[in-house]
Structure 1
Amino acid sequence: MKKSKAEAYETIVKLVEVARKHFTDHGYVESSMEEIVAEAKLTRGALYHHFGSKKGLFQAVLESVQAEIGERVEAEAAQSDDAREQLILGCRAFVAAAVEPRIKRIMLIDGPAVLGWEAWRRMDEENSMRHLREQLQLMQRQGYLKPVPLDAMTHFLSGALNESALWIAQSPDDSQSLEETMSVISLFLKGFDND
């Protein structure tokens, strides 16, 4: 009997939800497909049908994590009408989200290791970096940002945010490290103000 689109969607959502918990708690390597499908009350066949493999399931989980972070960044940035402040709020939201235990292992540790650096970078470019570039472009159009090459600045700032998130995640006082990171990012960005 063929499943309806709604049932297939429900199966996908359930597998991603349960897998995310397992990948967060145990990491990719130690997560068992048998335990994931058992907890989801589904079969391995359902997992293979929708994702092809454990790696395919992990990629779907990472995509959902990146989408969640993107929503959080947009929501935080939307709290201001000032383009500069939007960028700072968005950067803070990204770094704060990336270091949360339920996100950092999937996005920062296992993501590049499981999918490979190139695939991970492509996903990052399609999500976080795309929004970052759009914001920098808006700031440049509005005259807030010096005329710098946007692709170079986007990659530079994205790399700084990702590396800062990794550093903060290992810090014994992550709230202090987050504040220090944001003060450095703010100082850096002021150097590019067109004032």
Structure 2
Amino acid sequence: MSTIQRATRAEAAEQTAARLVATARRAFAERGFARVSLDALAAETGVTRGALHHHFTNKSGLFEAVLRAVDAEIAQELDRLYEAEKDRWKALRSCFHAYLDLALRPDRRRILFRDAPAVLGTRTFEILMASGFGPMVSDLRGLVAEGRIRTIDPEAVAHALNGVVMAQVMWLAEAEDNDGDRLAAAHAALDAVFDGLTAGSQFHCEAS
């Protein structure tokens, strides 16, 4: 087989996998993991069930691919928000607040926070909390060096912030979709956490 033929087959396989993920994402968001049939997904995508198993092994494997796709989509939106704000501290705060709204969008909420913990267990949080972790630690390290935030280990702070926002979205996902009071309370609590990191820093008034 020539290099061109191998590349063509690889591209075709990648396109098939992408179609399966897109189809599965709609189905999981609308009906939930338990009510989605692999046979129906394969038929809707125009592939055999064998091809589906070849790409994702099983239904849980396909669901994990969907989870990762949704997570990557949110990360891209947060990256755009981050790049639009020149101040790194304000950008970081804005991204955490935005995550609450972006992750709980109706087409994402059920996948990320209702079905994923049941289907993938703790792996769900390992995947979600790994997104952007390295750059966040780097930014926090720079903010500590500049005196923008308190002198606390940046990696520990990054884990703490991720833990806070994950706990909040799980709490919010349990509520009715239109529970504005709970969402407002979550944003206020998140502000309090960020304010605590600037307490005593030379830029506290500016940051808050």
Aligned residue number for residue 163 of structure 1: 167
> Structure 2: which amino acid aligns with 1:69?
I
Report the RMSD for the aligned CA atoms in angstroms: 2.1
**29, 32, 47: which one pairs with 2:34?**
29
Q: Secondary structure, in 3 states, of the residue corresponding to 1:42?
A: coil
Name the % identity: 28
Q: Does 1:111 align with 2:128?
A: no
- Offset of 1:33 from its aligned partner? 0.4
> Structure 2: which amino acid aligns with 1:12?
A
Instruction: Indicate if the aligned counterparts of 2:56 and 2:62 stay in contact, CA closer than 8 A.
Output: yes
- Offset of 1:53 from its aligned partner? 0.8
Which protein has the larger Cα radius of gyration, Structure 1 or Structure 2?
2
> Structure 2: which amino acid aligns with 1:153?
V
- Offset of 1:166 from its aligned partner? 2.4
Structure 1 residues 165 and 82: alpha-carbon distance in aligned structure 2, compared to 1, 3 A threshold: same
Matches within 5 A, 1:125-144: 125-144=129-148
Matches within 5 A, 1:60-139: 60-117=65-122, 119-139=123-143
Q: What CA deviation, in whole Å up to 9, does each residue of 1:27-62 have, x standing for no partner?
A: 111111011111111110110111111111111111
Q: What CA deviation, in whole Å up to 9, does each residue of 1:100-146 have, x standing for no partner?
A: 111111111211211121x2232123215445434323322332111
Q: Which moved more, 1:119-128 or 1:7-16?
A: 119-128
> Structure 1: which amino acid aligns with 2:14?
Y
Instruction: Indicate if the aligned counterparts of 2:97 and 2:190 stay in contact, CA closer than 8 A.
Output: no
**145, 149, 163: which one pairs with 1:145?**
149
Q: What CA deviation, in whole Å up to 9, does each residue of 1:73-93 have, x standing for no partner?
A: 111122211112101211122
Counterpart CA distance in 2 for 1:26 and 1:90 is: 29
Q: Does 1:43 align with 2:48?
A: yes
Instruction: Indicate if the aligned counterparts of 2:114 and 2:173 stay in contact, CA closer than 8 A.
Output: no
Could you list the runs of 5+ residues in structure 1 that have no partner in the other structure?
A: none
> Structure 2: which amino acid aligns with 1:109?
R
TM-score, scaled to structure 2: 0.84
> Structure 2: which amino acid aligns with 1:27?
G
Q: Secondary structure, in 3 states, of the residue corresponding to 2:79?
A: helix
Could you list the runs of 5+ residues in structure 2 that have no partner in the other structure?
A: 203-208
Instruction: Indicate if the aligned counterparts of 2:25 and 2:66 stay in contact, CA closer than 8 A.
Output: yes
- Offset of 1:19 from its aligned partner? 0.4
TM-score, scaled to structure 1: 0.89
Aligned residue number for residue 20 of structure 1: 25
Report the count of equivalent residues: 194
> Structure 2: which amino acid aligns with 1:147?
T
Structure 1 residues 138 and 182: alpha-carbon distance in aligned structure 2, compared to 1, 3 A threshold: farther
Structure 1 residues 115 and 165: alpha-carbon distance in aligned structure 2, compared to 1, 3 A threshold: same
